[in-house]
Amino acid sequence: MRLHYFSVFILMLFGCSGGGGETEHGHGGAHGGAGGHGGAGAHDGHGGAGAHGGVGGHGGMGGHGGMHQSNGDTYSPGLEKVGAMDVYTVRLLESEPLPRDTGKYTWQVQVLDADGNPATGLMVQAEPTMPAHGHGTMPQFTDGVESEDSPGTYLLSEMDLFMPGVWMVTIRISGDGDESDMVMYHFDLEG
Ligand SMILES: [Cu+2]
């Protein structure tokens, strides 16, 4: 147990220093210790981060802190979102890598129609942004490529989620007619 804690602590330290220009806050976050508050330190590029680090002194409670301070989704394979227009449902079948660190993400998403059947031949486009920072990424849009093996499943390749913090990935879907819909995933990346 002790050993495990220690290694998490070290990981947090590295993670935070990887956040860039964040040494002081990252330090505070790391002291939050062995858990979620380390994430807060890395993710908040602004002054408030130190305060989070301080709160994180709870040590063992760090994990809980991370969960409730985050406004991200908790990833699990198949994470499902019903479209804003109730036309389509999207399942995030797979994220590579798992949503945690910054980097280039490739997602497999399955789109279901109102009857729950895979919806084929759609235009599927993702737009990652960071709402709290008012920016997106490059390229701005990523077009989904439908799988030949698994119709109704679309591949969104190499989305560059380059910065710690909350990313919103908006997926817009349009079919032949005027059937269109959108879903949003939020993931809070550590760095
Ligand atoms: Cu940002």
Q: Residue 180: its pLDDT value, please? A: 95
Compute the average pLDDT of residues 161-170.
98
Q: Which residue has the higher pLDDT, 75 or 41?
A: 75
Instruction: Provide the 8-state DSSP code for 151.
Output: T
Least confident of 4-18, 96-110, 163-177: 4-18
Distance 29 CA to ligand 1 centre (A): 18
Distance 162 CA to ligand 1 centre (A): 8
Compute the distance between CA of residue 44 and CA of residue 49 in angstroms, rounded to an integer: 5
Rounded to 5 degrees, φ, ψ at 190 are -90, -35
Compute the distance between CA of residue 123 and CA of residue 126 in angstroms, rounded to an integer: 10
103-113 pLDDT per residue, tens:
999 999 999 99
Amino acid identity of residue 183, one-letter, is V
Q: 79-189: which CATH architecture?
A: Sandwich (2.60)
What crossing angle do the helices spanning 36-43 and 62-69 adopt, rounded to 10°?
Answer: 50
Domain with CATH 2.60.40.1220 in the chain: 79-189
Q: Residue 22: its pLDDT value, please? A: 37
Say whether pLDDT at 84 is over 60. Answer: yes
Instruction: Provide the 8-state DSSP code for 70.
Output: -
Nearest one of 166, 164, 96, 182 to 129, comparing CA atoms = 166
Distance 62 CA to ligand 1 centre (A): 24
Distance 164 CA to ligand 1 centre (A): 7
Name the pTM for this structure. 0.65
Compute the distance between CA of residue 98 and CA of residue 91 in angstroms, rounded to an integer: 15
21-62 pLDDT per residue, tens:
333 333 333 333 333 333 333 344 343 333 333 333 333 333
Q: Residue 177: its pLDDT value, please? A: 78
